[in-house]
Structures are given as structure tokens and as C-alpha cells.
Amino acid sequence: MPGLYRDEGIVLRTIKLGEADRILTIFTRDNGKVRAVAKGVRKTKSRFGGRLEPFTRVELLVYRGRGELDTITGADIVDANTGVHRNFESLASATVMAEFVEKITPDREEASPIYHLLQLGLESLGRDLGPTVLPAFMVKLLSVTGFNPELTGCAGCGSGGFLGGFSPSLGGAVCESCWIDDPEAIGLAPERLAWIDSLLAADFGTVASVGWVEEVTDLLRRYAEFHLERPLRSLEMLRAV
């Protein structure tokens, strides 16, 4: 229903609108993913200043009208997450996190676990907790959105025997015979599976970095893209560097 509401949110993305305005995609704590207009935000003397930049966590006052887009009427910084701007790699990783959250969540559906996960992921990037932060975020987000990968038994037949592959369509590790049945399955050594499992269970930055961080990140990307049915473009850009 139309009216004002208060919420806390993290800016995922902003796009220009007309001469002075922006449309923001914000993931909020209580209202889920919301799209809103910030009027005059691109003017030098904007009352919002730099408070509505991507990855900034803000306390918001928002007007919800009858249309699809809300209007931001007030914003105060809770945490600018300035640490993510410390280098290209962490900024690019933050962009991947924001894109992934934007693509995997529906509009206006409360999901505070995703909100807290995103804030924790951005904080961990900002604190330079190492290259495992991004794949850990990806597997945690997949898990919290209902795509928890099966890693200990075969996702096809339930067998607990040797698992040498990963099937995006079956949703996890697969035994050799299920792997043969799925042309899309990807070869993956068992120690990688165990490593993904530890990323899922452990706090950010606590799992030792290993030689297969990129391989696992790529696997999680393919698994995510299978469910999203579209690419995670910012991750492709990160890999292109």
C-alpha cells in the first residue's frame, strides 16, 4: 500500500535517469530487493551527497507509490563499506556479489538472511580476508536461496561412492554413471567438493586458500547461471583481467 517506510539497505546498482536522477536497486533488510528513484542525486549540491553509491549500507526513508519504483526521501550512511574500494579485485568481487544478489532474488520479498550475508561478504572483502571470500559468498548465497549443492552423496542416484563430477542440473556432485548421463556435468576432484563444503560451513576468510579457488569459483558460477538462466556478467569481467 502507498506510504512512507523506513528500512536499512545496501545499494546494489545505480543507473542514470534523465539529467539529475538515478534509479537504484537496493537490497533492504525488511523489504527485500527494491527499486527506487533518487531525485537530484547527480546534482553537485544533492542532499544525498555520496550516500547512495554502490555497496553503501544506508538507513532509508522511502515513499512507496502505486508504481513499480519507490522514491527515496532520506538516506543516512550506516557503513560506507569503503574497504571494498581498496583495489580493483575487491571492487570487482563486490560487483559480482551485488549482481548475484540482484539476479537471484525476487522483488519485494523479505529475506534478512540474504541481507546479513551480503553485508558480511562486503565487510570481508573490505577487510582483505583473501581470495576465498567470493566463492564462499557464492556457495552461501546459493544455499540460503534454496540451491544448496549436494556435496557428500551423488545428486543423481544418492550413491556414496566415488564422486568425480558436478552436475549443475542435478544440483551437486555426481558418481561416474550419473556423470556419463549428463553431458553438462563438469569434472571435479573429490577434494574440491570437500573444500566447497568447508567454505559453506565456515566463517569468511577462515578456510585456507588453495590452488583451485578459480576453478571452484567458475564451477559455482556455472551452477548459479544454470538456475538464473542468464550469465553473471561481472564475474566474466573479473576473470578477463
Which residues of this chain interact with Zn ion, rule CB under 5 A?
154, 156-157, 159, 175, 178
What is the closest distance, in whole angstroms, from the C-beta atom of residue 155 to Zn ion in the complex? 7
Other beta carbons less than 10 A from residue 36's beta carbon: 23
Q: Given the complex with Zn ion, which of 72 and 173 has the nearer CB atom?
A: 173
What is the closest distance, in whole angstroms, from the C-beta atom of residue 58 to Zn ion in the complex? 47
Helical packing angle, 213-228 and 190-201, nearest 10°: 70
Q: Given the complex with Zn ion, which of 114 and 175 has the nearer CB atom?
A: 175
Q: Given the complex with Zn ion, which of 180 and 202 has the nearer CB atom?
A: 180
Does residue 39 contact residue 22 with C-beta atoms inside 8 Å? Answer: no
Q: Given the complex with Zn ion, which of 82 and 177 has the nearer CB atom?
A: 177
What is the closest distance, in whole angstroms, from the C-beta atom of residue 177 to Zn ion in the complex? 6
Assigned C-alpha cell, 58:
544506508
Q: How buried is 219 (Cβ within 10 angstroms: 0-12 exposed, 13-18 middle, 19+ buried)?
A: buried
CA-CA distances (angstroms) from residue 54 to 8, 25, 50, 99? 14, 9, 10, 11
* Closest C-alpha to 217, from 138, 122, 99, 127: 138
What is the closest distance, in whole angstroms, from the C-beta atom of residue 66 to Zn ion in the complex? 51
